[in-house]
């Protein structure tokens, strides 16, 4: 992306808060954006500790947000803003923003809870976009030297080398490895263990199927190239799942680099800050006492669907009349009933063959045609297909039982599309803590 394209984004699509960059004359080695809604103030000192090991001063952009009619959020936000102001030397920039100077970091506190509170429909995605647009504007003015902005959350413990990653500027994004840090409450800690098992089970399933969308989408762990950020017009203004939709878009313009280190620790906690996500899921698991996830056979269905997509894009004689037969040829354990049902879903509901024909007509090679079709069959359509397989054929299982599959199918995960037979998992699963330990090892980037 050219400088003009970033400038055009800032002119046409940035949030008004991006104009705060004109009030800041310090130069920073890096910037980290944190949406803050009823958060404890611990993240303030975590940024400072990590910044002390950075190659230069760091800017933390803290977008403190809330809506009218939420007195508990207002109270917690006031406490957070007061703690930030007391942590260093304050310089007021506008009525709704001030800069706090500390030893190794500055904090830009943006008030979107009292001066200009969020309205219905605005949430964490909007807060991330406000902070990201400020960081981009500072980068354009030469005030942030790094080519990446960091995006994290109040639950993250930032490692000392957090700001020292070495990633190609041309990638779509980088995501840090992560683990959940126990809080000492057995019910909450076990809920996060089960939830993380589910996260890793899903990504391992995508990887075993050969999906190019086999990466984690955890908002606390993202580093975004400024070029790519502007190219996809910033963070989606969603109340939840903004990280999933953002990384889905970024994956279409560059690789999602999965870092091996440093590992980010995310605190175990329950919350209602967003309608769904880690905190909300943990709260539900604590209340219900169990967690379920996808039967591994859903990923076998995905694997054969991806093989059909490749064959159709390469014009290898795929027609509506032979789709079910081709699917059975890809996977001998696929039943004829599932194959016929999947053929109808892919061809009649998704109109895959028309998409593949269009891609082949508009490109000059099978590789380019496949790339275009997989851009269309993206992370969202991948998730919908897994849900289709769950709802139509293979109901969810207790998460530890579902994930036990990877203990015997680890070669499929490492080597790509699985040829494992479509059998209901029956292997006994170890305890959740032991299972999560080997899932983390199996899920680690090569």
pLDDT tens digits, 187-210: 999 999 999 999 999 999 999 999
Domain count, the chain: 2
Find out whether 309 and 374 touch, Cβ atoms under 8 Å. Answer: yes
pLDDT of residue 417: 52
Residue 274 in domain: no
Residue 183 in domain: no
Token digits for 107?
């904090």
Residue 406 in domain: yes
Residue 9 in domain: yes
Per DSSP, the residues of 203-271 read HHHHHHHT-TT-S---GGGEEEEHHHHHHTTSS---SS-HHHHHHHHHTTTS-EEE--SSPEEEE----
Q: Considering 124, 140, 164, which residue would you say is the last residue of a domain?
A: 164
pLDDT of residue 273: 65
Label the pairing between strands 58-65 and 105-112. parallel
Backbone angles phi, psi at 323, to 5 degrees: -60, -50
pLDDT of residue 1: 54
Residue 247 in domain: no
Mean pLDDT of the chain, nearest integer: 93
Q: Is 381 helix (H, G, I), strand (E, B) or coil?
A: helix
pLDDT of residue 280: 85
Q: Considering 164, 193, 208, which residue would you say is the last residue of a domain?
A: 164
Residue 48 in domain: yes
pLDDT of residue 70: 93
Q: Looking at residue 19, what DSSP letter applies?
A: G
Confidence at 423, pLDDT banded by 50, 70, 90: low
Do residues 8 and 153 share a domain? Answer: yes
pLDDT tens string 329-385: 999 889 999 999 999 999 999 999 999 999 999 999 999 999 999 999 999 999 999
Token digits for 296?
């591994």
Question: The domain containing residue 394 runs over which residues?
Answer: 297-443
Residue 227 in domain: no
- C-alpha distances (whole Å) from 46 to each of 129, 153, 156, 210, 331 are 22, 11, 8, 38, 50
Residue 17 in domain: yes
Q: Considering 110, 135, 164, which residue would you say is the last residue of a domain?
A: 164
Confidence at 413, pLDDT banded by 50, 70, 90: low
C-alpha to C-alpha distance for 153 and 418, rounded to whole angstroms: 35
């Amino acid at each position: 992306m050219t400088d003009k394209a970033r400038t055009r984004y800032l002119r046409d699509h940035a949030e008004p808060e991006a104009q705060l960059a004109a009030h800041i004359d310090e130069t920073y080695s890096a910037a980290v954006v944190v949406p803050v809604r009823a958060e404890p103030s611990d993240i303030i000192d975590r940024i400072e500790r990590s910044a002390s090991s950075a190659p230069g001063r760091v800017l933390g952009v803290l977008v403190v947000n809330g809506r009218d009619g939420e007195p508990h959020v207002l109270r917690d936000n006031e406490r957070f803003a007061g703690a930030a102001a007391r942590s260093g030397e304050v310089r007021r920039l506008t009525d709704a923003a001030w800069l706090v100077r500390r030893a190794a970091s500055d904090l830009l506190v943006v008030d979107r809870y009292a001066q200009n509170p969020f309205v219905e429909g605005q949430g964490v995605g909007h807060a991330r976009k406000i902070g990201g647009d400020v960081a981009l504007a500072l980068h354009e003015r030469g005030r942030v030297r790094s080519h990446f902005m960091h995006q994290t959350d109040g639950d993250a413990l930032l490692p000392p080398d957090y700001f020292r990653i070495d990633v190609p500027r041309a990638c779509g994004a980088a995501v840090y490895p992560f683990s959940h840090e126990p809080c000492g409450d057995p019910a909450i800690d076990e809920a996060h263990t089960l939830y993380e098992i589910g996260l890793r089970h899903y990504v391992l399933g995508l990887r075993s199927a050969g999906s190019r969308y086999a990466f984690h989408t955890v908002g606390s762990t993202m580093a975004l190239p400024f070029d790519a950020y502007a190219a996809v017009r910033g963070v989606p203004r969603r109340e939840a799942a903004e990280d999933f939709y953002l990384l889905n878009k970024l994956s279409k313009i560059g690789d999602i680099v999965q870092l091996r280190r440093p590992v980010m620790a995310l605190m175990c906690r329950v919350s209602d800050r967003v309608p769904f996500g880690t905190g909300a899921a943990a709260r539900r698991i604590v209340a219900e006492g169990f967690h379920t996830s996808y039967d591994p056979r859903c990923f076998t269905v995905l694997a054969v669907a991806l093989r059909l997509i490749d064959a159709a894009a390469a014009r290898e004689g795929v027609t509506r009349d032979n789709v079910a037969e081709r699917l059975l040829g890809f996977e001998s354990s696929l039943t004829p009933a599932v194959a016929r049902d999947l053929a109808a879903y892919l061809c009649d509901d998704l109109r895959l063959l028309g998409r593949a024909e269009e891609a082949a007509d508009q490109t000059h090679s099978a590789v380019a045609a496949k790339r275009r079709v997989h851009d269309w069959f993206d992370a969202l359509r991948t998730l919908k297909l897994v849900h289709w397989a769950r709802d139509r054929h293979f109901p969810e299982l207790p998460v530890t039982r579902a994930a036990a599959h990877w203990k015997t199918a680890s070669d499929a995960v490492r080597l790509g599309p699985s040829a494992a037979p479509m059998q209901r998992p029956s292997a006994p699963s170890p305890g959740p803590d032991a299972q999560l330990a080997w899932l983390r090892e199996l899920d680690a980037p090569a």
